[in-house]
Chain A
Amino acid sequence: MQVDGSAPANGRGATVDLRNVNAWYGGAPALRDVTLTVAPRAVTALIGPSGCGKTTLLRSINRLNDTIPSYRLTGSLTVLGQEVYGKDLAVEDLRRRVGMLFQRPVPLPMSIYDDVAYGPRLHRLAGSRAGLDAVVEESLRMAALWDEVKDRLHHPGRSLSGGQQQRLCLARALAVKPRVILMDEPCAALDPGATAKIEELIRQLCAEITVIIVTHNLAQARRIADFTAVMLPSANGGGELAEFGLTPTIFETPTEPRTADYVAGRFG
């Protein structure tokens, strides 16, 4: 992507945009006044110590936190210009355009083929059996898994290695043609080799897809992220956005002293 030194100035048309977002679990604050415009077709890393709301922020973007009854959010959060917590938004539609990759690879309890075809079948994206075959193959190719599984598409996904399982999950997410993919520490359970493969894929994907990745691995953020958002504990509980900018800037010349301490490994 073209890096011009800043995120788009006018956030309203952006892929993902947060304005003064506050969130709570019951009475406990989780996010404090977060304002952030995510650059389209780039990789944005969310880093920071545990308990600073990185995962909360991520799971708000596709409203997966809806499963927690006490969760509450105020402010404005838009995806592709649409208010995510607005009344007229169909959450299933939102989640089709915003895919997610979890910390532990979760192959669904079915065959590799059915796993990748799960989303397209839900949303009736493929008209025919041949069309579905094509979507499955294309998605597995994009996740660099096709060559490894093409002869055993009808084996269970659980039979794959951890790294392959995570790429299968990526293929499943890609199969519904998302505009954004959220990743919650996708390499935390993987060995260095598998991690390198995923990172390479992320770099390829961001040519077309906006990637937002939570990671505890600072080196990983440096390797793959165009932009980095640092979330730190807020004085009143919960987490706040301490600094946001181009990754080299955040790591080499941060303006906030706390960011400097964090990226230098002085706490965390």
Chain B
Amino acid sequence: MRSGNLARRKLVERLAVTLCVLALLIALAPLVHVLYTAINIGGSRLNWTFFSQPAAGLPYIGTQGGVLNGLVGTVLLLFIGGLISVPLGVVTGMYLSDFGGGRLGSTIRAFSDTLLGVPSVIWGLFGFLLFANPISQVGLHLNRSALAGGLTLGLLMTPIVARVTEISLHQVPLGFKEASLALGATRWATMRRIGLRVALPGILTGVLLALTNAIGQTVALLLANGYTYLMPRWPPWGPQGNVTDLGSMIYLYLYQPTTLLHAPAEAAVVVLLGLVLIMSLLSRALTAIGRRNYAG
């Protein structure tokens, strides 16, 4: 009787595990398919030339050369985005974690959480009107450019950085904070000297998360940065300030009326996924460091 019951429970257990594995496989299938297709179609282009040269070729630019303009442009956009979002987001997170208990704090938190869900196209429209559009009434009139695109990315990254900073600072052990306060440190000094030090790996993880998110904001970038097949030029604003980002490059290659650009587009997919993979591995490593350093 008892053993029969046990056999049944073991069966249920096995069934549950099977279902979980099945769900995982279904979830992973698209990624595997995308990678397989990309390597299958674009694999022949993935050589040193592809990484070391900008797009070239006639009549369709991209049939020759490589992806260097897209790589450099993407890194430039993410760099500007980080320059804006890291200070803004970290300071917001610091405020929310230690001073944001009142009504102002919860209002800021609610706004910030809403911003997390704003779609790419709306960010793009906002970035276009406020930063790019040279004839808008209110704005910076930067034209579609790296600076306008980067600023837009910076704004959409800020709520992510702020949220992760707040969470990381919350996880700093209370003992550290009290030890610092008991020595006569102000709350600000405690956060700066102890909190940030302990929360740093977590905050960096958040920054990488935000960058990984930003790298795929193709629609926002098409609106605020536009597109070019050229290498970035100086200055990164004005009519010639636009740069290439990998997402838009893939999109536009696939929409040309030719199959000749499918190979470089799929090769660019591999590069983009590689970038995301590197950033995600980095953030995992940082999380592990943070856990090892100051757990508990």
A residues within 8 Å of B by Cβ? 62, 64, 67, 69, 92-96, 99-100, 102, 104, 106, 108-110, 118-119, 122-123, 169, 172-173, 176
Starting from the known contacts A92-B186, A95-B181, 9 additional A-B residue pairs (CB-CB under 8 Å) come to A67-B178, A92-B185, A94-B184, A106-B179, A108-B179, A109-B176, A118-B180, A172-B179, A172-B183
Complex: A173 Cα to B178 Cα, angstroms: 12
Choose one: B101, B176, B182, B293; the contact of A100 (CB below 8 Å).
B182
Q: Are A122 and B198 in touch, CB under 8 angstroms?
A: no
Q: Are A104 and B175 in touch, CB under 8 angstroms?
A: yes
Complex: A267 Cα to B207 Cα, angstroms: 55
In the complex, chain B residues 176-227 whose Cβ is within 8 Å of any chain A Cβ? 176-186, 189, 193-194, 197-198
Residue of B179, B189, B193, B198 with most partner-chain A CB within 10 A? B179
Residue in chain B with minimal CB distance to A101? B182
B294 within 8 A of partner (CB) = yes
Residue of B181, B189, B197, B293 with most partner-chain A CB within 10 A? B181
A82 to chain B, nearest CB (A): 14
13 residue pairs of the A-B complex, CB under 8 angstroms, read A62-B182, A67-B177, A95-B183, A102-B182, A104-B175, A106-B173, A106-B175, A110-B197, A119-B183, A122-B189, A122-B193, A169-B179, A173-B183
Complex: A109 Cα to B178 Cα, angstroms: 13
B194 to chain A, nearest CB (A): 6
Choose one: A95, A104, A110; the contact of B182 (CB below 8 Å).
A95
* Known interface pairs A67-B178, A102-B175; A109-B294 also in contact (CB < 8 Å): yes
Complex: A173 Cα to B173 Cα, angstroms: 19
Contacts of A123 in B (CB 8 A): 184
Contacts of A106 in B (CB 8 A): 173, 175-176, 178-179
Residue in chain A with minimal CB distance to B189? A122
Q: Are B183 and A67 in touch, CB under 8 angstroms?
A: no
Contacts of B294 in A (CB 8 A): 109
* Known interface pairs A69-B101, A102-B179; A118-B184 also in contact (CB < 8 Å): no
Please report whether the interface of chain B is mostly helix, strand, loop or mixed according to DSSP.
Answer: helix
B residues within 8 Å of A by Cβ? 101, 173, 175-186, 189, 193-194, 197-198, 293-294
Q: Are B184 and A92 in touch, CB under 8 angstroms?
A: yes
Residue in chain A with minimal CB distance to B294? A109
Contacts of A122 in B (CB 8 A): 183-185, 189, 193
B189 to chain A, nearest CB (A): 6
Q: Are B176 and A108 in touch, CB under 8 angstroms?
A: yes
Q: Are B175 and A118 in touch, CB under 8 angstroms?
A: no
Complex: A119 Cα to B180 Cα, angstroms: 8
Complex: A231 Cα to B194 Cα, angstroms: 35
Complex: A108 Cα to B189 Cα, angstroms: 14
Q: Are B197 and A109 in touch, CB under 8 angstroms?
A: yes
Q: Are B181 and A67 in touch, CB under 8 angstroms?
A: yes
Residue of B178, B183, B189 with most partner-chain A CB within 10 A? B183
Residue of B101, B176, B184 with most partner-chain A CB within 10 A? B184
Complex: A95 Cα to B176 Cα, angstroms: 15
Choose one: B177, B186, B193; the contact of A118 (CB below 8 Å).
B193
Q: Are B194 and A108 in touch, CB under 8 angstroms?
A: yes
Complex: A176 Cα to B198 Cα, angstroms: 24
Counting from the closest, the 8 A-B pairs by CB-CB distance are A96-B184, A95-B184, A100-B182, A106-B175, A119-B183, A92-B184, A106-B179, A122-B185
Contacts of B194 in A (CB 8 A): 108-109
A107 to chain B, nearest CB (A): 9
A136 to chain B, nearest CB (A): 14
Residue in chain B with minimal CB distance to A92? B184
Contacts of A104 in B (CB 8 A): 175
Contacts of A94 in B (CB 8 A): 184
Residue in chain A with minimal CB distance to B174? A67
Contacts of A100 in B (CB 8 A): 182
Residue in chain A with minimal CB distance to B173? A106
Contacts of B176 in A (CB 8 A): 106, 108-109
